[in-house]
Structure 1
């Protein structure tokens, strides 16, 4: 397996899902949650990313009418088998995966995790009653508590972020909507403030947990790159398994290009696929005439040779530290 040929260990594993709109009646394309094309058929694949080395660990295609966490346990079992002999030091996922089954699965493996929580009514009520908050900056506060969500087997540590919309115009999160109809409520707490909640099994300071979770946003960048640069949503066959096979080949291509970028452009900003193609593969030339013969010289510049010298000098297992 490719991950066994990498020196890097102690991975951060990010799990996410994405909606891929389909135009037709392909097998598995069903009507489900589709914020971009409401009512349109779609697939709802699962992705697992190794954040530290910007690679895809696993990908499963699913029907469009599945929830984020549907069949996730089997997906994670396969993902950990792919990463065998490697340590997963941190697991991150959004609120769609915050179920008792997934939490217990990760806890049984003794892996540190941080996941976003869904703000159900009971959690909103508990957040509303909190009086002690620590300021992190203008219009943003943090706190924590032990809380047992509905369906959980035990209380767990919850980190809560509060942002005031009037000060932080681009604040994200949810309002305490379940309290809208109550009388004698604090208007600022309910209508003018947004909240995030995260569950974790770590003992780190609350603000460190929040910083950990914020870096999970890179998984969304990976999905965007897979769609826009590698065309993962463009390979759709009538047969469901054929579509998933095509998606997995896209994952292989993505990982190969990710390794290429990290080996050849070690200390440079990571370019997009289009930039990489222009700089490394679309090598320009010109036509010249010599004694009634037309020729196309392909003289390589020094930087071009040095670029690929990194690959020639590479030995297994790979080191991606630069």
Structure 2
């Protein structure tokens, strides 16, 4: 009886010869049998950033491994490296790792010289997640943020924002959200500048500001432990203007600048100013803009608070905005120079959600989807630290993750591996070669 063929099927076996036509008298063919080649040689940069930060090694210690130690082939650390590097490289699906596990560049970056974990093994990793795992990984994000500063900062501005995470299955915690007009989760993100401190997955049948006060308290307490003299500013849109949050900020010495939803009383305060802007617009036909301030107290507030208003009148009529704050200073500087910069956090959320696939929450249970979101958050940290530590002064210093992936990480290489060395033969005429070499030099320097 003949033996069954146990040799893994390769891409060449599955696809065969690809016909590209002809060039003159020559026939052009392609086959997937080039041997040890990779399209992801940039994974070595990600591995070097990780080595410098110790990020995924620390993340592995946050996940309880229920396996028998004597039977473990793939450690939690190696699986996290494989999964997070894959996300940063654009491989968002677990099924992708059926082939990636044999990629020599990926194996080298992970730190092994054999096949890395299969898709089912990585799937089992997601099922080990629980509330304690999410808590510890969020602590790691905060500790990484603190460690990124060589000296204590004078001020940190914490941007809170919620967004939708669309769902297309029957996941746990799935609810319909009227504003987004879809079934979704409602994750809460916290950024400070470009750095991510929190990626908290929530069901969507709640107020968008739910849990904000608790998370803000925890963050402020830890930041003040590390930096006793730091000035903390809470910044958010009108969805986070809640009495409990403002009261706590005032009691705790935390500054805030938060959007305030329009209502009839606020409109009455600015009615005369809007009439004046209207008259000026009719006279000049040029868009009119005014930033002012007044004291205001909602019925639920214990006292009046400072409200900054930005009024505009143009071709489409009036467009008022209101912001409540306990900061001192010129209202126009506070509005234009501080509050409007809140929009930068939305760009960072887009990087995490779209560029690093935080919306791939197709697991059945919420805790596993929370882990997926945090794996994307860890990938975001690697990308952000790559920009900060290795790409300053280059053309890619401010590039978003999609651009970095195309121009720096997705590079072809032939790989040889023997008993003495592993060598990557990168493309000879790659346009980003100088930036790649500079980045690796910066990361390898003491």
TM-score category of the 2 structures, normalised to the smaller one: 0.7 to 0.9
Show the counterpart of 1:4: 146
- CA RMSD in angstroms comes to 2.6
Contact 1:93/1:115, CA 8 A, preserved across alignment: yes
Show the counterpart of 2:361: 235
**Per-residue deviation at 1:120?**
2.1
Show the counterpart of 1:63: 203
Q: Where does 1:293-312 land on structure 2 (aligned, <5 Å)?
A: 297-298=425-426, 301=433, 303-312=435-444
Q: In terms of mean alpha carbon deviation, does 267-276 or 200-209 score higher?
A: 267-276
Show the counterpart of 1:205: 330
**Per-residue deviation at 1:25?**
1.9
Q: In terms of mean alpha carbon deviation, does 149-158 or 269-278 score higher?
A: 269-278
Larger radius of gyration: 2
| Structure 1: runs of 5 or more not aligned | 170-191, 288-294, 315-322
Give CA deviations for 1:251-276 in whole Å, capped at 9, x if unaligned: 11111210011111112441122322
Give CA deviations for 1:289-312 in whole Å, capped at 9, x if unaligned: xxxxxx984378555322211112
Show the counterpart of 2:410: 282
Contact 2:169/2:362, CA 8 A, preserved across alignment: no
Output the TM-score relative to the length of structure 1: 0.78
Show the counterpart of 1:246: 372
Distance 1:89-1:71 versus aligned 2 partners, 3 A rule: closer
Contact 2:176/2:184, CA 8 A, preserved across alignment: yes
Deviation above 6 Å: which 4+ runs of structure 1? 131-135
- Residue 219 in 1 paired to residue 345 in 2? yes
Contact 2:389/2:442, CA 8 A, preserved across alignment: yes
Distance 1:3-1:227 versus aligned 2 partners, 3 A rule: closer
Show the counterpart of 1:177: none
Contact 2:167/2:184, CA 8 A, preserved across alignment: yes
- Residue 113 in 1 paired to residue 256 in 2? yes
Show the counterpart of 1:147: 296
Higher normalized helix content (fraction of residues): 2
Show the counterpart of 1:85: 226
- Residue 29 in 1 paired to residue 157 in 2? no
| Structure 2: runs of 5 or more not aligned | 1-142, 281-285, 416-422
